[in-house]
Amino acid sequence: MKYMYISLLVFLLGGCSPANKENTSNIESLTNEFPANDIRLIDIHLYRSDSYKTQPELINVFSDEKEKNNVIHWINTIHKRQDVIMPDINKIYVLQFHYPNGNSEISKYLAYVEDSKGNYYAKKFEMTAELFNYEAFTKEVLASVIEKIGEKDWFAVEKLVILTP
């Protein structure tokens, strides 16, 4: 009987390890995509319906080390993957990270959204011309943007408090 309990315990513990390892690697993969060193600046864009400017609108630029470190610290608060339900999205931010690349520069993009329940999600994505230069931000554009970014592989995150609007 004693060996049966030990076998059961080993089986249960062994079954839990891969899930934790997978969750950890998922978190690390996003954290590693936006390394803290070498960030030149971070542009913050927002899709907003109350603006006459082309969407998404540039609302802030972080070049100060403290601001950049706050964003990197926020990325490190990721705790789990979760699919996003498009109709619940209220706001879509795009964080554009600028990194030096020899004599030029590369950009990496992170979408950050807020849903109607006050939950926040982030996802690395590839920026395309289709995602920029909307004349107005409507429900149809919202649906199109989420579709192009993708509804899977989002991470639940804490609120990024240094954003404005």
Asked whether the beta carbons of 154 and 122 are under 8 A apart, the reply is: yes
pLDDT given at position 99: 94
Reading the block at residue 98, the tokens are: 């600028």
**pLDDT tens-digit readout, 129-156:** 888 778 878 888 888 888 889 888 888 8
pLDDT tens string 65-84: 999 989 988 888 776 777 76
Residue 17: per-residue pLDDT: 38
Tens digit of pLDDT for each residue in 15-31?
443 444 444 445 555 67
* Residues 106-122 pLDDT 10s: 999 999 988 888 888 89
pTM across the whole model: 0.78
